[in-house]
């Protein structure tokens, strides 16, 4: 009985104790501390975009040869890639953003 009472008192005291103060992001910004969010690096060069498309193909289990970019479709931070051995033949079409996001035709709402 004493043990149950001791546990109950301990829980009651623990619940009534003030919560430790955690500085908000505004206070952290004022003090000069940087938030600990990890940002993805932006893709900058043509090789970076091609590398993102190649890694997408590898993750999908598809061959990585004969991939090319359709430079006439460049739009802002987006690049458009496909695989094909001759003009008019396209496989695995996908769009790659500067943030590294890859959208293919399986993403119907975004395509």
pLDDT by residue for the chain (111 residues), tens only, comes to 555 555 555 555 555 545 445 555 555 555 565 656 667 778 888 999 999 999 999 999 999 989 999 999 998 899 999 998 887 888 999 999 999 899 998 876 655
Distance CA 98, CA 17 (A): 48
- Residue reference for tokens 């091609």: 50
Contacts of 63 (CB under 8 A, 6+ apart): 57, 83
pTM above 0.85, yes or no: no
CA geometry: angle 32, 37, 42, nearest 5 deg: 110
* Residue 82 main-chain phi, psi, to 5 deg: -155, 165
Residue 110 corresponds to which tokens in the numbers above?
């975004």
């Amino acid at each position: 009985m004493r043990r149950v009472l001791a546990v109950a008192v301990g829980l009651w005291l623990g619940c009534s104790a003030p919560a430790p103060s955690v500085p908000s992001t505004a206070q952290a910004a004022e003090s000069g501390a940087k938030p600990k969010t990890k940002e993805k690096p932006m893709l900058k060069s043509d090789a970076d975009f091609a590398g993102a498309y190649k890694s997408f193909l590898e993750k999908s289990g598809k061959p990585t040869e004969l991939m090319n970019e359709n430079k006439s479709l460049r739009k802002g931070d987006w690049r458009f890639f496909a695989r094909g051995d001759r003009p008019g033949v396209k496989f695995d079409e996908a769009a790659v953003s500067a943030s590294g996001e890859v959208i293919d035709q399986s993403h119907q709402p975004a395509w």
